[in-house]
Amino acid sequence: MIVERLAKSLMVLSKDGVFTRESLERLSGLGGSIVESFLNELLSDGAITRVGEGYRVNMRPHALIRYFMNKGLSVDLEEISDFLPWDEFEALIRLIFEEWGFRVVSRLRVPVVGTRVEFDVIAYREPRVLLIEAKRWRRVSGSLSAIVKRHLEKVELVSREPEVLMNRLGVRWGEALLIPVVITWHKAGTSMLEGVPIVSIYQVNSFIMELDGIVDYVRAFRVSWRHL
């Protein structure tokens, strides 16, 4: 918990560029050897560099969050969400899937069936295409059903003319499994709704690892198409 307090404080301070040890101690309420050890580890890993009497973070926020996640630290993203641009959440999702060997695109608009739909993140690796709705809201539970319903509608529209999406992605598989997913900034109260996985950003690694075992139980659209 102590190191996590320091990690959270660093995330807040990183938006200002250069920060000092004193500002980190003041914000975290910690000091002494704990802070010194924390900063030395960050310096050793190349996460920060010295700038005069202060320090500068060398990573964008999403990469810094991922760095702490890889260290086994759980930064409360909801508490620091006001300090992070919206696109950093999508960038973090993208980074995690890329680390697992997926190709990833963000904010892709797809014209289908007389309309146009947009997906926050699309991660694909043959034969699966994960169509991801990214939700950073503080209170998502009350409107989760509406979010899932709308997301399913978008995926279903795309499934009617899959060649349009696949052409945009440059996918030439000929067939694929479209899987709608909702990824949240915080821990959701449910793991699945109407067959759609509801995944906390902290659960994405586990979700990817377990996907082979749960794919038969999630809502999915099997599609095939001819190359355009």
Residues 6 or more apart in contact with residue 46 via CB below 8 angstroms: 58
Query: Is pLDDT larger for residue 212 or for residue 190?
Result: 212
Residues 6 or more apart in contact with residue 53 via CB below 8 angstroms: 20
- Can you read off the two tokens belonging to residue 216? 């038969």
pLDDT over threshold 70, residue 204? yes
What is the pLDDT at residue 71? Answer: 87
Provide the whole-model pTM.
Answer: 0.81
Read off the DSSP letter of residue 114. T
What is the pLDDT at residue 119? Answer: 97
Q: What is the mean pLDDT of the chain?
A: 89
- DSSP, residue by residue, 191-223: SEETTEEEEEGGGHHHHHHHHHHHGGGS--EEE
- DSSP, residue by residue, 69-93: HHTT----HHHHGGGS-HHHHHHHH
The strand pair at 175-184 and 196-200 is best described as parallel
What is the pLDDT at residue 189? Answer: 60
- Can you read off the two tokens belonging to residue 6? 């320091």
Q: pLDDT tens digits, residue range 146-174?
A: 999 999 999 999 999 999 999 999 999 99
Query: Is pLDDT larger for residue 66 or for residue 133?
Result: 133
What is the pLDDT at residue 11? Answer: 86
CATH architecture designation of domain 86-224: 3-Layer(aba) Sandwich (3.40)
What is the pLDDT at residue 36? Answer: 94
What is the pLDDT at residue 190? Answer: 62
What is the pLDDT at residue 188? Answer: 66
pLDDT over threshold 90, residue 21? yes
pLDDT over threshold 70, residue 112? yes
Domain locations in the chain as residue ranges: 2-82, 86-224
Third-level CATH fold of 2-82: Arc Repressor Mutant, subunit A (1.10.10)
